[in-house]
Structure 1
Amino acid sequence: MSTDTDRAPRTFTRAGLAERAAALCRADIPASIVVFLVALPLSLGVAVASGAPVAAGLIAAVVGGIVAGLLGGSAIQVSGPTASLTVVIAESVHQFGWAATCFITVGAGVWQILFGLSRIARAALAIAPVVVHGMLAGIGIIIALQQVHVLLGGSSLSSSFAALVGLPHQLMSVRGADLFVGLVVIAILIAWKFVPRSVRVVPGPLVAVVVATVLSLVLPLHVERIVLDGSLLDAVGLPSVPAGSWTVIVMTMVTIALIASVETLLSAVAVDKARPGTGTDFDRELIGQGSANVVSGLLGGLPIAAVIVRSLTNVQAGARTRAATVLHGVWVLLFAVALAGLVRQIPAAALAGLLILIGVQLIKLAHIRLAMRTGDLFVYVATVLSVVFLNLLQGMLIGLLIAFALLLWRVVRVTIAATPSGRPDRWLVTIDGTCTFLALPRLTAELAKVPAEVAVTVEMSVDFLDHASYELITDWAMRRESEGTAVEFVEIGAARLATAPAGPPERGHSRQIIDQVIGPWRRTEHRDNPIARGIAAYHRGHAHLMRPHLHGLRERPGADTFFLTCADARIVPNVITDSGPGDLFTVRNVGNLIPAVGEDVSVEAALGYALDTLHVRSIVVCGHSECGAMGALYHQVGTGIGLENWLAHAHPSMARYRDGHPVALAAARAGFGAVDQLGMVNVATQVQTLRANPAVQEAITERGVTVSGLFFDLATARLIAVTEDGIAEFDDEGNSVVKAPA
């Protein structure tokens, strides 16, 4: 997919064309110039770092802008030569030569097209991020090590090990002019972050390279300069078939395709976040990138990938359509053809300084901190070292293997402990995690710790239980029970002992746990003795969790809230308020009514006990939707003498509803029906009755007791606050209140 602007219908009227031209001049042309100024020095630097002809970087920038810009799945993502491919390209150039490397680039493009056609683009995002971060850091170290030699006046060496070993010698033979030029570039790039935003409109890399070039021409400095033979058109040449092992050739193609694809997709994700609504088509993007690599390789250019720095620059510069991306490639082409002489004046050390800083920036402290927090630091370090001292492909494979091994260890890990429960006659065995045959040694050792002739509670929080573990646990339990020792199983996890022998072991899911918790609430046909079943399930799954808490509440019968609600079986006060034992003093009656003082002993006694003995701090009246009592009251249907007499206490609510109570009006605006409107008015009326109660008034004055109303909507399972003036909805945090729509 492309942006909304890109999807807009074409209008070829004079006014439509004028509007599109104005939008192009206002947004896309300025953005394309900014991206061109950023891409130019970076493209030259990547070519130098890769050991390729300088013109190859310019060709890749042109093709990346025009071909990938036109064919890709993102309208504002910018492609070109990238630092992440310098290592593998340098190895390919060293092993096969430049012309053969262009052939490999074509092959990598074909692989990317196949990736896109097979619609596996999102699968490339499945590579562990820590491996990608380590790979980029390793590439950054290699670039910095290689270019330090150029900065000091030497030349880049063939391997990181050679660069490290040769660094002392290079320091002894440093060329001051080259070092000065390179340090000027580094200083400007570092300082550019602190200049005013209005000045930073001009890209820092361009400023640094231009200043360093001018200084090298004005001052009496003898420095090595960029070698560009002929014009850009002279550098265009067909690739040649490489000689050597085709296994290595194909692996190099696949390596380039994978790295370019992963970087492209990661860049697309970042662009979509930076510009919501862009909606990159990942498969089309890979087809566009592959096509660009085929064209770049055929013309003698470097491999191409979407570059996140250029892409985000394009977004920040205000680009709206593909025109900005394509035009940036056109500007590179015009510059390379018309102003090739300027390129030859750039000192090699200036680009070395630029590349060193790019390499250092690929090592991000945020990635290292994240790896430390998530326990993946070993994967990160191993990937970095493998990339630096072996090669990119081996480093990535080693990182993936270690990451997979770590994941496997975390998945199959199980925690087992046998400890005294605090009572001399009972021990507690806890089994938490994935219980497989790999856990048998640990499981056997822990079970052996349990003394003979003591009762045992086995608490199992497992999501996977294989037959080996099942047999060991059940055999051990049967043996102890045959010796007269009680073994109680408490199963909290999704995998259960009862179902283990029924079929192949399967991993339990959190949905199964939810079903086990709320299953008893669901109305099912032909349920025999549901209370007995519920008691058994409670004893097996939850009683041991409640026991310590209730033990501590034995001698302090208190509550925080007096909660009056309807007797309807669908309302579960502790669930809808996320409270537990000791929190609510709950009183339930038909229609959640508060009779006037002296008219009902039961409610009055409960309220007095809550205020005087329990010292509650809040009083809540909670009604609900689809209330049978409110329906009977509204429709005035026959309900029997007992219920009819009781609902007489709700006649004031009916009168206020008919008079157009503000709560009823607010509920109507929110889309509630007449019976539910009456139910909300009834809550407001009961709150008013409570506030008029002398005992409640005294509690409000002396202790700051609050009185409030709630309404539970069964259809949405959400609570609504009922006030004197209307209704309000709580947000998911429960902190702020959002007014009902007018």
Structure 2
Amino acid sequence: MIATLGARAARLLPHRSDYAEAPRSWRRDVLAGVTVGVVALPLALAFGISSGVGAAAGLITAVVAGIVAAVFGGSHVQVSGPTGAMAVVLAPVVAHYGLGSVALVTVLAGLIVVAAGVTGLGRAVTFIPWPVIEGFTVGIAAIIFLQQVPAALGQTAAPGQTPLKAAWQVVTSLDWTVAKTALMVVATVVVLMVALPKIHRAIPESLTAVVVATVLVVSVGIPAARIGELPAHLPAPVLPHADLNALRTLLGAALAIAALAAIESLLSARVAATMSPSGPYDPDRELVGQGLASVASGIFGGMPATGAIARTAVNVRSGARTRLAAVVHSALLLGVVYLGTDAVSAIPLAALAAVLMVTSLRMVSAGTVLTILRSTRSDALTFALTAIVTICFDLIDAVAIGLLAAAFFALRSVARRSSVQHEPLPGPPQPYDDRIVLLRLDGAMFFGAAERISSLIADAEHPDVRVVIIRMSNLGMLDATGAHTLALIAEELEARGVTVIIKGVQAEHLDLLTNVGVIDALRHENHLIDSLDEAVAHARQHASAG
């Protein structure tokens, strides 16, 4: 027992093997870290502002949470920090409980996520169906693209709006005198990002495109919106004040934030694992790492952190292979705070918007989308529903609705494959065989199919039938509703004077049937039989006696 717990604890902690590929890939990791750091900087500031905690808190989160999640997380290429979804969830908490509640709710949510990882709840993400994952990915890619539309057009979106609504309002009330300048920067970055890999794959197209666009804007004097002034330092770590009343008040908010952090981080890590050749991820360790990242962020005055699919995608596309890239990303942001605020403040926002737009398009695999749409109608509908809800409403709602849709279609499919087959009696015909009905239950008898099976059994009845044999040896699934329905069927038929014999009850169904009273009644009458020949012989005795 102790050895098992020790092995599990060791699996959730950092190990030297995390950096086994670093000697061969460190150059690509460093370049990827620099690229994603440049992309993450304005996002961190923007998400901090939109959540209500301020730009400094967003930057603190990107630095502190980014490095903690990189070291302790379960993915080799995941980049963590503040995200748009978290900003949306956190904004009403700040408005309702005040800015002073952020540190406590961040730490509390982080501890909940750590507990989820330690107890093994990270594996639950493996039960999320493929169409839901791909729908979520397409939805996230669309959100990333829509979030960049205002900056790509040189406009400012009104706060508190969904990305779709904000993008629509910007496009419908466009000021072309400003937009044409921003679009020129966007076009420059897009062309470079598409063309540079064709020239040489080793060229970091994102970073190069941003540098070229920045030099062009500064040297020519193009009037484009820039990143602007940055915080000059990070605060000292302070434990948030916590009392019982505060914990009780913020527990609900912390649970919601923890749920979002867990779902978004695990889905981001899972998507990243499909994009990167760096190998699989450990979902439990990922939760532990993300939880510790939020705890550290709260102590330093930041906001809750999650795995960020946009930055993670940039990281992977830039060539990252180990978690060294995410560490470099945080180190670069830390260096920017103390050393490079002037240079970074000159980067045009339109250039960064273009990088994310290209990244979002690369996240979507047209082949994968077509494969799902051509698979089954239910999978296609689940995929589309998840993507639409992600874009129009909320990430957690999208996953929940996608799971419900997938579960509904799966249960409906199982129920449709469940059937009652009318079989002929084995052996040569004998007198009174017309008084015996042999039925075989196939598939599953559960709450979704029990009523229909009950009707089919009833439809098999004829006035002269005296015995019904129900074969259960082919029944794959039985739940309490199905067992209760069988009990009702047996009682109803017996009340009509029809003898019920059940043949071939499987071992895994025996306890359930016993608990609902079916087995005891049948055993009392010696009508629970394992052999078909014995069941038919017993039925013929009843039929001849009737």
Letter in 1 for 2:371: R
Q: Is the 8 A contact 1:182 1:349 kept in 2?
A: yes
Matches of 2:46 and 2:363 in 1, distance apart?
15
- Return closer, same or farther for 1:447/1:504 CA change in 2, 3 Å cut-off: same
Cα deviations by residue, 1:348-383 (Å, 9 ceiling, x for unpaired): 122222233344445544256337625333333333
Q: CA offset at residue 387 of structure 1? A: 3.2
- Return closer, same or farther for 1:379/1:145 CA change in 2, 3 Å cut-off: same
- Return closer, same or farther for 1:90/1:362 CA change in 2, 3 Å cut-off: farther
Which residue of 440, 450, 453 corresponds with 1:439?
Answer: 450
Q: Is the 8 A contact 1:149 1:170 kept in 2?
A: no
Q: Which runs of 5+ in 1 are unaligned?
A: 9-19, 507-532, 541-742
- Return closer, same or farther for 1:305/1:105 CA change in 2, 3 Å cut-off: farther
Which residue of 254, 257, 261 corresponds with 1:250?
Answer: 254
- Return closer, same or farther for 1:238/1:175 CA change in 2, 3 Å cut-off: farther
Q: Percent identity?
A: 25
Letter in 2 for 1:249: A
Matches of 1:478 and 1:234 in 2, distance apart?
80
Q: Is the 8 A contact 2:422 2:438 kept in 1?
A: yes
- Return closer, same or farther for 1:462/1:138 CA change in 2, 3 Å cut-off: same
Matches of 2:445 and 2:66 in 1, distance apart?
54
- Return closer, same or farther for 1:217/1:393 CA change in 2, 3 Å cut-off: same
Residues 1:369 and 2:382 are matched in the alignment: no
Matches of 2:274 and 2:203 in 1, distance apart?
23
Cα deviations by residue, 1:129-160 (Å, 9 ceiling, x for unpaired): 54444334333333333321222222124323
Letter in 1 for 2:84: T
- Return closer, same or farther for 1:2/1:150 CA change in 2, 3 Å cut-off: same
- Return closer, same or farther for 1:112/1:224 CA change in 2, 3 Å cut-off: same
Match of 2:41 in 1: 44
Residues 1:305 and 2:307 are matched in the alignment: yes
**Within 5 A, what are the aligned runs for 1:3-42?**
6=16, 26-27=23-24, 29-42=26-39
Match of 1:225 in 2: 226
Q: Secondary structure at the match of 2:346?
A: coil
Residues 1:398 and 2:411 are matched in the alignment: no
Matches of 1:434 and 1:472 in 2, distance apart?
16
Q: Is the 8 A contact 2:237 2:300 kept in 1?
A: yes
- Return closer, same or farther for 1:296/1:127 CA change in 2, 3 Å cut-off: same
Q: CA offset at residue 79 of structure 1? A: 3.1
- Return closer, same or farther for 1:496/1:280 CA change in 2, 3 Å cut-off: closer
- Return closer, same or farther for 1:29/1:110 CA change in 2, 3 Å cut-off: same
The higher radius of gyration belongs to 1
Q: Is the 8 A contact 1:145 1:164 kept in 2?
A: yes
Cα deviations by residue, 1:575-601 (Å, 9 ceiling, x for unpaired): xxxxxxxxxxxxxxxxxxxxxxxxxxx
Matches of 1:122 and 1:166 in 2, distance apart?
41
Q: CA offset at residue 55 of structure 1? A: 5.8
Match of 1:655 in 2: none
- Return closer, same or farther for 1:275/1:149 CA change in 2, 3 Å cut-off: closer
- Return closer, same or farther for 1:360/1:236 CA change in 2, 3 Å cut-off: farther
Query: Where is the helix percentage greater, Structure 1 or Structure 2?
Result: 2
Residues 1:379 and 2:392 are matched in the alignment: no
Greater RCO (CA < 8 Å, at least 6 residues apart): 2
- Return closer, same or farther for 1:108/1:203 CA change in 2, 3 Å cut-off: farther
Matches of 2:255 and 2:345 in 1, distance apart?
35
Q: CA offset at residue 176 of structure 1? A: 0.8
Q: Secondary structure at the match of 2:442?
A: strand
TM-score (norm 2): 0.68
Matches of 2:536 and 2:333 in 1, distance apart?
75
**Within 5 A, what are the aligned runs for 1:683-698?**
none
Q: CA offset at residue 448 of structure 1? A: 2.8
Q: CA offset at residue 223 of structure 1? A: 1.3
Matches of 2:263 and 2:512 in 1, distance apart?
46
Cα deviations by residue, 1:448-482 (Å, 9 ceiling, x for unpaired): 37888899998864223524236637976998989
Matches of 2:327 and 2:353 in 1, distance apart?
28
- Return closer, same or farther for 1:220/1:92 CA change in 2, 3 Å cut-off: same
RMSD: 5.0
Q: Secondary structure at the match of 2:443?
A: strand
Q: Secondary structure at the match of 1:153?
A: coil
Match of 2:514 in 1: 503
Which residue of 94, 97, 102 corresponds with 1:96?
Answer: 94
Q: Secondary structure at the match of 1:175?
A: helix
**Within 5 A, what are the aligned runs for 1:419-568?**
431-436=441-446, 438-441=449-452, 443-444=454-455, 448=459, 461-463=474-476, 464=478, 466-469=483-486, 472=489, 503-504=514-515, 536=533
Letter in 2 for 1:6: R
Letter in 2 for 1:434: A
